[in-house]
A and B are shown apart, each in its own frame.
Chain A
Amino acid sequence: MKTLRQRHRHLLVAAILLVAGVVRLPLERGLSDELLDAGLLQPSVELETRQQVGQSLWAVALGGLRTLVATVLNLRADTFFQAQQWTELADAFDTMTDLAPRTRYYWDIGSWHMAYNASAYYQNRDDLPTLRRRAEWRDWVKRGTRFLEEGVRNNPDDWRLWANLAYFYSDPLKLVDDARAEEAYRRSWETGNALPFIERAMVYAMARQPERRDEALERIRAMSDDPRAQVPAMLALRYALEYRADPGRDPLELALEVFGSEERAYRILGNHYLDLNGRFPNDGVAEAVAVLENRLAIDEEKSIFRERERLQAMPIHPFDDSR
């Protein structure tokens, strides 16, 4: 009789646990969703990561200490970097970002290691055949870029990561893709947190694509009242795009309108003309520089045209055959 009562108690406890469990399920579910929406919860770790991490660290990660494991792996990754073990390094970063996907730092450093350090390492491996060097270089640039693309997918509201990705796309020493660069800058700008230079960088990326140049000019005109948009590169671009829109204009007149004085026009347009890596439109620039050199009586030796020829003779990129 006594144990019957005891058994009843245990059944009662089991029943209460079940009922409470059923009651809390929707509560927990709602809270989980809310936390996920707020970016405070992270998706479950992938099976592959689990294998990468190893048994003991995995146990630590299970104990609710994912960031701690990521920190330890980051230290390990640093030794891979010192030893130039790039594959291990990249795997370590994949794992870290799976454990701590909201940490910009890991995406930032990881992509930099892959796209810059690892690719440069192969670029400089003179003992390898050129074909192999080029293939490795390319693979690592791509891997770093893909890694960063994954990073912005996980952190769509992080303007710095978008900006980093845009640098990757527009770096003349990497695999240039101006359309993607423009898109990445746009996403960065649209987070609402980015600094003004991001908007300007987006316009530069637009201007590098011939089919986007009309829109770039519209954008520049819209920004022209903003004092923060009055930087030299922006003014030079404005000159080239305005000239492109109306090639019949007098270069000197347009230059004075945009820059205010002949000296300033010469300095800014000269630098613009020498910026070969910028790949900006140069409509009317040579014409204006020629007129201005004439009017300012620039010495033949110091001519922008002479300087430009010198720069053009220098190789920029060992593997780049696009230009």
Chain B
Amino acid sequence: MDAAVEITDLTKDFKTGIRGGWLRAVDRVSIRIEPGEVYGLIGPNGSGKSTTMKALLGLVAPTEGSCRIFGSDSLAVDSREKVGFLPENPYFYKHLSGAETLRFYGKLCGLGGRQLDERVTELLDLVDLAGARDRRLGGYSKGMLQRIGLAQALVQDPQLVILDEPTAGVDPVGSRQIRDLILELRGRGITVFLCSHLLEQVQEVCDRVGIIFRGKMVREGRLDELLAIEDETEIILRDADPALVGRIAELVAADGRASLTHTGKPRTTLERLFLEETRKREEARSSS
């Protein structure tokens, strides 16, 4: 079976300035994503993430190497039948409403008639924009734009979705909605290729990640493998008094080989805290 994405030794040079200068944006990068996987490409701004995605979509031609989607070359138009793309900070046509936007992209993919109408309604429900269906995109918030962008990427029911910084500039609530959508896509067996510099987000949704830095792939692997610290073991206790903790410390000291590196209160993430608090307020308001 063909890989969903197969990038082989991709190299991309850009000309800088008027005369002479060359910049190697991507340097012999290879990525293989199996169908159904969620893959995260992480790296700082300007590390070559977006260029890799553009090459995969055929928007730029590789200087060397090749990109394939489900076996067909990215430079061929039909490679894009099976792929949906959400660019970073997408600006859609402001004069179109949410539904019109989806219809437009649907028609570009050859959809039409009742099939398209149903698909538009379905997608607006999926991204929770049914209420803003007929509002022009000029009046959408950042998070709404990102979600309509995601819906647009899904319009022809692609088997691969490419998301470039899907939560950039979106508030935590919106960000969480997008995260949930990505998880839902995974649930449906859709391959997701995600690229972000927000590590936490990648950590939450991805099966595999690659770290790209200055155009080169520096690390790649399954997330749990990459993150596990092999020589450490975590014990989390509830309602333990200090005497118990003292006894455990003595046990460890008696072992001779193991050592206790840290005791203290575990911390929640700020994101989790923020979401917890806003959810509580929301519930309090709706119940009163």
Contact = CB atoms under 8 A, between A and B. Distances in A.
Chain B, interface SS category: strand
Nearest to B13: A2
A1 B62 CA distance: 10
Interface string A1-20: 11100000000000000000
Contacts of A3: 15
Contacts of B64: 1
B63 to A, nearest CB: 5
Interface string B30-64: 00000000000000000000000000000001011
A10 to B, nearest CB: 14
B66 to A, nearest CB: 14
A168 B112 CA distance: 74
Interface in B55-82: 61, 63-64
Nearest to A5: B61
Nearest to B14: A2
Contacts of B63: 1-2
Contacts of A2: 13, 61, 63
Contacts of A1: 63-64
Contacts of B15: 3
B12 to A, nearest CB: 8
A298 B63 CA distance: 116
Contacts of B13: 2
Contacts of B61: 2
Interface in A255-291: none
A1 B64 CA distance: 9
Nearest to B62: A2
Interface in A1-44: 1-3
A2 B15 CA distance: 10
B168 to A, nearest CB: 29
B51 to A, nearest CB: 13
A9 to B, nearest CB: 11
A1 to B, nearest CB: 7
B119 to A, nearest CB: 38
Nearest to B60: A2
Interface in B5-19: 13, 15
A41 to B, nearest CB: 42
Interface in A224-241: none
A1 B63 CA distance: 7
A154 B129 CA distance: 70
A35 B18 CA distance: 47
A93 B16 CA distance: 59
Interface in A208-248: none
Nearest to A3: B15
B19 to A, nearest CB: 12
A1 B13 CA distance: 10
A2 B63 CA distance: 6
A6 to B, nearest CB: 9
A6 B13 CA distance: 13
Nearest to A1: B63
A1 B15 CA distance: 12
A269 to B, nearest CB: 86
A3 B19 CA distance: 12
Nearest to B64: A1
A3 B61 CA distance: 11
Nearest to B15: A3
A246 to B, nearest CB: 93
A2 B11 CA distance: 11
A2 B13 CA distance: 8
A284 to B, nearest CB: 91
A281 to B, nearest CB: 83
Nearest to A2: B63
B20 to A, nearest CB: 11
B178 to A, nearest CB: 35
6 contacts: A1-B63, A1-B64, A2-B13, A2-B61, A2-B63, A3-B15
Interface of A: 1-3
Interface of B: 13, 15, 61, 63-64
Q: Which 4 A-B pairs have the closest CB atoms?
A: A2-B63, A3-B15, A1-B63, A2-B61
